Amino acid sequence: MTGNLVVQFLAQGAQMFFVLLIAPLAVGVVRRVKARLMRRQGAPLLQGYRDLAKLLRKESVVAENASWLFRSAPSLIFALTWVAAALIPTFASGLMYNWAADVVALVALLGAARALLALAGMDVGTSFGGIGSSREMMIATLAEPAMMLIVLTLAIAAGTTRLAGVADFFIAEPLAVRVSMALSLLALVIVALAENARIPVDNPVTHLELTMVHEAMVLEYSGRHLALIEAAGMLKLVLYLSLLICLFAPFGMAPATAGVDGWALGLLAWTVKLLGGAALLGVWEVSIAKMRVFRLPDFVGIAFVFAFLAILLAFLSRGAIE
């Protein structure tokens, strides 16, 4: 039993490092796909790692009037995002800390990271930071409730708010098209786009200060601070992709009882699905224009409406069964 505990612990730790390790690669895949679709060579897939290494080595320039919040925010944001990303079941559903992988906790962790980033954006007092923070909060006020509704819809279906439980439920249940699930999926994709500052909500590669959302908040960061923020951004992408995989395409995930073999298979399946998701994101991003800032409420609002309909349908169908 002790041996089993150690293996379990190691597996949980491995998951934590897998998400961190693969995050720059996932972003590299998105960038590479976009570049190729624009007939450019594109940066190597491993560029994300090099960028982080470079930033970590560089000196961090901090504005004179920056407070402790500005300095500590990157570490906190990184830690919160990492924990959140590590909680989501990736290759196996029965890991040691899966009981902690509660969707409500997940939303809370991400919300805390976002609040810190928005505060840090305003801390130095530059106009761009302020613009970025205000836009981020505008998006968040719409995306967060939608996110809550989505997870609750799934929780109603699976009877638990534990992600591993939900994944187990979807693996066990025969695949059946459910309207509420389809609506949740759409809503979650929209929320994921908004949360990760992707087109059409934000453009991660823009150099136009006035149009930025996420980038505007982190304009003042450099060196290792920026490396942490960038890494947190990459982790967030992996987090949302993993969440989508875990909830809507969990096949291949090792069940609670699986051993090391099952885990290896699960890891392979997850990696393939994750990178596939990243490639899809790249295709999506080159095929659409960025939205006007004031159209964003409509777009993210759609997510809320879908999520609301999904939870309504979930309630109704439950009632019918009972």
Partner 1 sequence: MSAIGPLAGLIAGRDAAPDGYVRLDVEPEVWTELAQGCAAGSHDLSALWVDDDRVCMALGGEGLRAIVSLRTEAGAYPSVAAHHAPAMRLERAMRDLHGVRPVGLPDTRPWLDHGRWPGRESAARYKFLTAEGEGLHQIAVGPVHAGIIEPGHFRFTANGETVVRLEERLGYVHKGVEGLLAGADVARGAAIVGRISGDSTVAYAWAFARAVEAALGWAVPPRAVLLRGIMAELERLSHHINDVGGICNDASVLTINARCTLQREDVLAVANACFGHRLMMDRIVPGGVTVDLSADGIGRIRGLLSRLEETRAEILRVYDSMPSLQDRTVTTGIVSPDLVRQYAAGGFVGRAAGRAFDTRKNFPYAPYDQLPFDIKTRTTSDVDARLLVRMDEIAESLKIVGLMLDWLALGDIRSCGPAAVASEGAALVEAFRGDVFRSVRIAASGTLARVHVRDASWFQWPLLEAAVEGNIVADFPLCNKSFNCSYSGHDL
Residues engaged in binding partner 1 (CB under 8 A): 34, 37-40, 127-128, 130-131, 134-135, 199-200, 203, 205-211, 285-295
Based on CB atoms, which residue is closest to partner 1, 165 or 200? 200
SS3 content of the chain, % helix, strand, coil (to 5): 75, 0, 25
Q: How far is the CB of 193 from partner 1 (least distance, A)?
A: 13
Based on CB atoms, which residue is closest to partner 1, 76 or 209? 209
Dist. CA 265–CA 252, nearest whole Å:
7
- Four-point Cα dihedral 132, 196, 204, 55, nearest 10: 90
Task: Please give the structure tokens belonging to residue 12.
Answer: 């949980």
Instruction: Count CB neighbours of 71 within 10 A.
Output: 14
Do the beta carbons of residue 124 and residue 66 sit within 8 Å? yes
Q: How far is the CB of 30 from partner 1 (least distance, A)?
A: 13
Based on CB atoms, which residue is closest to partner 1, 130 or 301? 130
Q: How far is the CB of 242 from partner 1 (least distance, A)?
A: 26
Based on CB atoms, which residue is closest to partner 1, 71 or 290? 290
Q: How far is the CB of 132 from partner 1 (least distance, A)?
A: 11
Based on CB atoms, which residue is closest to partner 1, 33 or 253? 33
What number of helices (H) and strands (E) belong to the chain? 11, 0
Q: How far is the CB of 54 from partner 1 (least distance, A)?
A: 19
Based on CB atoms, which residue is closest to partner 1, 153 or 203? 203
Do the beta carbons of residue 61 and residue 222 sit within 8 Å? yes
| Residues present in the chain in total | 322
Based on CB atoms, which residue is closest to partner 1, 292 or 318? 292
Q: Which residues pair with 92 in a beta bridge?
A: 254
Q: How far is the CB of 81 from partner 1 (least distance, A)?
A: 25
Q: How far is the CB of 282 from partner 1 (least distance, A)?
A: 11
Dist. CA 35–CA 161, nearest whole Å:
39
Q: How far is the CB of 99 from partner 1 (least distance, A)?
A: 42
Based on CB atoms, which residue is closest to partner 1, 51 or 285? 285
From the centroid of its chain, how far is CA 113? Answer: 12
Exposed, middle or buried: residue 15 (CB in 10 Å: 0-12, 13-18, 19+)?
Answer: buried
**Closest by Cα among 32, 80, 63, 82 to 283:** 32
Based on CB atoms, which residue is closest to partner 1, 68 or 294? 294
Q: How far is the CB of 211 from partner 1 (least distance, A)?
A: 5
Beta strands in the chain (DSSP E): none
Do the beta carbons of residue 234 and residue 19 sit within 8 Å? no
Q: What is the DSSP string of 48-94?
A: HHHHHHHHHHSPPP--TT--HHHHHHHHHHHHHHHHHHHHS-SSBS-
